A and B are shown apart, each in its own frame.
Chain A
Amino acid sequence: MTSDADRMLPSREPVMLLDPDGRPTVAARAGLPASEELLRGLAGMVVARRFNEQASALVRQGRLAVYPSSYGQEACQVAAAQVLTGEDWLFPTYRDTAAAVARGVDPVEVLGLLKGDWHSGYDPYERHVAPLTTPLATQLPHAVGVAHAARLRGERTVVLAMCGDGGTSEGDFHEALNFAAVFRAPVVFFVQNNQYAISVPLARQSAAPSLAHKGVGYGIPGEHVDGNDLAALLDVLSGAVGRARAGEGPQLVEGRTYRMQAHTNADDATRYRADDEVAAWAAKDPLVRLEAYLRTEGVLDDARAADLTEAAEQVARRTRDGLNQDVEPDPDDLFRFVYSQPTPQLVEQLAVVRDEISRDEQSRDEQSREETR
């Protein structure tokens, strides 16, 4: 019994394979992910960072209502997508737009929720990415259900379910981990501990030795990892995904990272945290360290780096162009998707809206006729 519990406990320190300067750590002697994987990861992170910057700019230009940026968390965003196969599922939070993009969802569609045209812009079944979820941790039990359904059919699907440090305090986090453990569902719970839930620091969320320690209480192995070290994330997450796929049940992975920017553009982070704290984390940037390592290894040179930048630029351009297009939302849609068939009441209400619109148009027509007279 004791040994079982011991195996479920996380390492003493978060797993780190590349230090902040990009040098392999002692732990890396056991092996680093293949260079192509790391290069793919870097490419993804360059896109993710550019996407974050672009989306923030679009808020300033009034094209997006709001944007919760994952700037600084790009290693977590990219690793979450990179360790999954096409058949697997990703369950993101509102902050995980870059992860959805990394999984191949169209960047314009990903931003649908934040643009305000509709609540969710993409088809979840296309890339097996659940809708971005705003009620904290409520997507986690869904992830367990999707995984369980797949297992009942004998499929080898794994579900990676994301949440934040704040989300781990919600009841749904507890219920989801417990369900997953009891049903041995193939789910990897991936907590991005970015140290804050809006303004509230981690110490006010939990007194646990680490968030990864929460696993053992459910009978779930927990591990924590340097969330700004893509190599370590790929290593730990793909191990967890592999074990889940092999039928060993759920896992909990905590990525220690930092929300470099305010919660959203509407937040003022200077009210609750000090500049030197932010500066200390800036020195641990996930892109800088991986790029340094890959250059030292000779896998990355200036020409290749320029290619990555150009590819990211294309994603930014596509995002910009898409969001700069004004799509007139169709008021009929208000009633179209509530039920598979609208109720008689919704049919009546749709008629009210249509009537309002046509009367508006009529009076506008009359007005313009009057003006031309």
Chain B
Amino acid sequence: MTTTAVEHATLSTAQAINRALHDAMAEDPTVLVLGEDVGPLGGVFRVTDGLTAEFGEDRCFDTPLAEAGIAGFAVGLAMNGMRPVIEMQFDAFAYPAFEQVVSHIAKMRNRTRGRVALPLVVRIPYAGGIGGVEHHCDSSESYYAHTPGLHVVAPSNPADAYTLLREAIASPDPVIFLEPKKLYWAKGEVVLGRGGEPGIGTAVVRRQGTDATLIAYGPTVPVAIEAAEVAARDGRSLQVVDLRSIVPFDDAGVCAAVESTGRAVVVAEAAGFASVSSEIAARVSERCFHSLSAPVRRVTGFDIPYPPPKLEHFQLPSVDRILDAVDELQWEEA
């Protein structure tokens, strides 16, 4: 706990991320920002706006258009004293970098018995709900979460975007930082500086409730909160847990929440099969079985390639679908 006055700002998620990059760069000269169009343009979502102007071309710069190259180059930078933050322009355009992520970024520390750490962050604008055309809306978190050696983080609001990114940049471990695109423009109060909010690995209860727990992360957190608000009007009290970090997973926090209500629904945009949502459902069932009054339910994307813009609303977990799932949690008739 610091005793200095806490600085606040009202920022959009994109601005909060920009501010986190800015503050990290100002504090630590080894922090570098690189990727496609992140330099003078400021990134296609303007997340890196102004960083080249302020810190110079050596600190925030455009690279050739090659995602494996960017990731592999960042491995070398990190091996040699830098803290690179790389931007993958869109979720589905991070796939060329997959080999570098899985075979090197995730494994280097383990391979070298802790001698080579890779303190780097892979920022990925991700998930849907923005009317994007094919390859611009993938929820790719399961690929990364399935890979030991990576931390996987997904903020759901501007405050967390700032805090978690500061934590990610300071972390000695590589972090996949998933930025829900549809929340880029959502505004909120942000606490600046480091060490305020809970860090990576801690889930938080966003909304108190006593009847059932909605477990969400990233883009589905606001939807879950909205569902809880609607339910409250119907006399049902839903708790909302925001994971914030998928890896490390906060088993203790999630279980405590679920045990307090005895019912749980997992809400995620990604296709449900073999996914983070199935992992959560399995963990909660294994660990909280005796407190559960109903099987854990999931509201997820269908097991289909992400739909075109005019059909995407069918894919995204909605308030209605969440409430339908809640209705099926074996309530005793009053």
Interface residues of A (CB under 8 A from B): 118-120, 123-125, 130-131, 135, 138, 140-150, 152-153, 171-172, 175-176, 178-179, 182, 333, 336-340, 343-345
Contact = CB atoms under 8 A, between A and B. Distances in A.
Interface string B84-126: 1000000000001001100110011111111111000000000
Nearest to A130: B79
A167 to B, nearest CB: 13
B73 interface: yes
3 nearest interchain CB pairs?
A145-B76, A141-B72, A175-B69
Nearest to A121: B113
A116 B324 CA distance: 53
A152 B57 CA distance: 11
Q: Interface of chain A, helix or strand or loop or mixed?
A: helix
Contacts of B173: 339-340
Nearest to B81: A149
Nearest to A149: B80
Specify which of B76, B108, B151, B248 lies most central, judged by the most chain A CB atoms within 10 Å of its CB: B76
26 contacts: A120-B113, A123-B115, A124-B115, A130-B79, A138-B72, A140-B72, A141-B100, A142-B73, A142-B79, A144-B73, A145-B84, A146-B77, A146-B79, A146-B80, A149-B76, A172-B100, A175-B69, A176-B72, A178-B66, A178-B69, A336-B114, A337-B114, A338-B110, A339-B109, A343-B248, A344-B251
Contacts of A153: 81
Given A343-B248, A344-B252, A175 B72 contact: yes
Nearest to B66: A175
Interface residues of B, number: 49
A3 B189 CA distance: 59
Given A119-B110, A142-B79, A344-B252, A339 B149 contact: yes
B76 A141 contact: yes
B75 A175 contact: no
Contacts of A176: 69, 72
A343 B79 contact: no
B327 interface: no
Given A141-B68, A337-B110, 18 more contacts: A124-B112, A131-B111, A138-B100, A138-B104, A143-B76, A144-B73, A145-B75, A148-B73, A152-B58, A172-B68, A175-B68, A178-B66, A339-B149, A343-B247, A344-B201, A344-B252, A345-B248, A345-B249
B113 A141 contact: no
B72 A145 contact: yes
B235 interface: no
Nearest to B67: A175
Contact of A147 (B76, B100, B115, B250): B76
Interface in B27-80: 32, 58, 63-64, 66, 68-69, 71-80
Contacts of B104: 135, 138, 142
A118 B151 CA distance: 23
B111 A119 contact: yes
Contact of B111 (A120, A141, A144, A336): A120
Contacts of B66: 175, 178-179
A178 B248 contact: no
Contacts of A148: 73, 76-77
Interface of B: 32, 58, 63-64, 66, 68-69, 71-82, 84, 96, 99-100, 103-104, 107-117, 148-149, 151, 171-173, 201, 247-252
Specify which of A146, A153, A178 lies most central, judged by the most chain B CB atoms within 10 Å of its CB: A146
A132 to B, nearest CB: 10
A138 B112 contact: no
A349 B123 CA distance: 29
Given A338-B109, A345-B248, A142 B115 contact: no
Contacts of A144: 72-73, 76
Contacts of B111: 118-120, 131
A145 B149 contact: no
Nearest to B251: A344
A123 B109 CA distance: 11
A120 to B, nearest CB: 5
B201 A135 contact: no
A178 B64 contact: yes
Contacts of A344: 201, 248-252
A340 B172 contact: yes
A120 B112 contact: yes
Given A142-B75, A145-B75, A339-B173, A118 B81 contact: no
Contacts of A179: 63-64, 66, 69, 73
B103 A131 contact: no
Contacts of B252: 344
Nearest to A133: B104
Contact of A123 (B100, B112, B247): B112
A144 B248 CA distance: 31
Contact of B64 (A130, A182, A337, A345): A182
Contact of B79 (A120, A145, A337): A145
Nearest to A339: B173
Contacts of A336: 113-114
A337 B69 contact: no
B208 to A, nearest CB: 24
Nearest to A153: B81
Contact of A337 (B84, B109, B171): B109
A333 B113 contact: yes
A149 B113 contact: no
Contact of B109 (A125, A145, A172, A340): A340
A255 B113 CA distance: 33
A131 B108 CA distance: 9
Contact of B249 (A118, A135, A339, A343): A343
Contacts of B148: 338
Contacts of A175: 64, 66, 68-69, 72
B150 to A, nearest CB: 9
Contacts of B100: 138, 141, 172
A24 to B, nearest CB: 39
A145 B201 CA distance: 29
B77 A145 contact: yes
Specify which of B68, B114, B116, B171 lies most central, judged by the most chain A CB atoms within 10 Å of its CB: B68
Specify which of A142, A144, A336 lies most central, judged by the most chain B CB atoms within 10 Å of its CB: A142
B252 to A, nearest CB: 7
B79 A345 contact: no
